[in-house]
Amino acid sequence: MAVAIITGSGGLIGSEAVEHFVAEGYDVVGIENDMRASFFGPEASTAHVTERLLDAHPAFRSESADIRDRDAVDRIFAQHGTAIELVIHTAAQPSHDWAASDPQVDFGVNANGTLNLLEAARAHCPEATFVFCSTNKVYGDTPNFLPLEDLELRLELPESHRYHRGIDTSMSIDNCTHSLFGVSKAAADLLVQEYGRYFGMPTVCFRGGCLTGPQHAGAKLHGFLAYLMKCTATGTPYTVFGYGGKQVRDNIHSADLIAAFAAFHAAPRPAAVYNIGGGRFSNCSMLEAIEICERVAGRELSWEMGEDARIGDHRWWISDLAPFEADYPEWKLRYGVEDILREMYEQNAERWGAAAA
């Protein structure tokens, strides 16, 4: 039977990928060591997700391995060899704030870990589709120099601007401040592209905006929509970092992102790169997100405005989805921001309340 290897299989995107590809008939091998708990504390642990997946799916197995361990990664790939048809790489240190606290670990996980996976794939399953969860942070703070208009609840690009429908991959990644996280992910992104070009492997970098969904273990330093809804539901104070709360993000539900992965896997090509997110269909400012959370939860959020924005953080990001839609016209977004937040609340409010008590 065909094998899919999914790194970070206990995380938001990884676990969604496990569910999807088990249903598609794959034997799925997860690589997961719950480093998220080390990064963000025990409340962000994904151990319970891994346990749930193992209980629910006989076709899923989980390998407790660190992607920085080259020998462990190679052993897992060698065990399955050419039966591996798909590699989905979602494991990462995902926070630009955390990266500055330990750049060695950040770069080791994001860059060196990706290199280990690419080398293992090249050695044992070079025909397998290699899907990499990259990030819009590879563009650094270049988006912050766009000519944004200051509206009541959000910053916005004029309709006449070339990026009004969303930013595409023509934006430069050079001559800007990235954050150390952005640098480590850019290194990994370029590696994935190079293995596609140099070795002819079917690789793709999906440069994501905000990836979210009801299974997201949102924390203060990562996963803003999930953490914002959690704070609203539990009465936990929340701090907005800079820009008057008018910074804009597009948000893509994990199920919509996995559908994009599946579409690419059905017709892969080498060294593909796409910006992916909610686009114009699913985006909001912080102030708009707070309004939606309060409406969905039926209570006010206790929040304050922090003066300083995070280094390298974007004032405005909306992905241009047109290039991916042109190559894979069968793919369509299904979830808007309010759909996402309502689903988060309905699936988690009881658990959040119990934990807070």
DSSP string, 12-72: HHHHHHHHHHHHTT-EEEEE---HHHHHH-GGG--HHHHHHHHHH-TTEEEE---TT-HHH
- The answer to pTM > 0.85 is yes
Query: Can you give the pLDDT at residue 356?
Result: 60
- DSSP lists the bridge partners of residue 241 as 306
The residues near 119 (Cβ < 8 Å, ≥ 6 apart) are 70, 74
- DSSP lists the bridge partners of residue 276 as 208
Per domain, the residue ranges of the chain are 3-356
Asked whether 120 and 77 are in contact (CB, 8 A), the reply is yes
Query: Can you give the pLDDT at residue 354?
Result: 67
Q: Is the pLDDT of residue 221 over 60?
A: no
In the chain, the percentage of residues whose pLDDT exceeds 90 is 84
Average pLDDT value over all residues in the chain: 94
Which of the following CATH numbers is that of domain 3-356: 3.90.400.10, 3.40.50.920, 1.10.240.10, 3.40.50.720? Answer: 3.40.50.720
Report the pLDDT averaged over residues 221-234. Answer: 84
Residue whose token pair is 């609840």: 153
Helix (H, G, I), strand (E, B) or coil at 133: strand
Q: Is the pLDDT of residue 291 over 80?
A: yes
179-193, 209-223, 270-284, 301-315: range with lowest mean pLDDT: 209-223
pLDDT-derived band at 355, boundaries 50, 70, 90: low
Report the pLDDT averaged over residues 1-27. Answer: 97
Query: Can you give the pLDDT at residue 333?
Result: 98
Question: Which pair of structure tokens corresponds to residue 68?
Answer: 């920085």
Burial 215-246 (b: 16+ CB within 10 A, else e): bbbbbbbbbbbbbbbbbbbbebebebbbbbbb
36-50, 209-223, 288-302: range with lowest mean pLDDT: 209-223
Starting at the edge strand that comes first in sequence, how are the strands of the sheet with 84-89 ordered? 60-63, 27-31, 3-7, 84-89, 129-135, 203-208, 272-276
Report the pLDDT averaged over residues 212-238. Answer: 83
Helix (H, G, I), strand (E, B) or coil at 284: strand
Asked whether 195 and 118 are in contact (CB, 8 A), the reply is yes
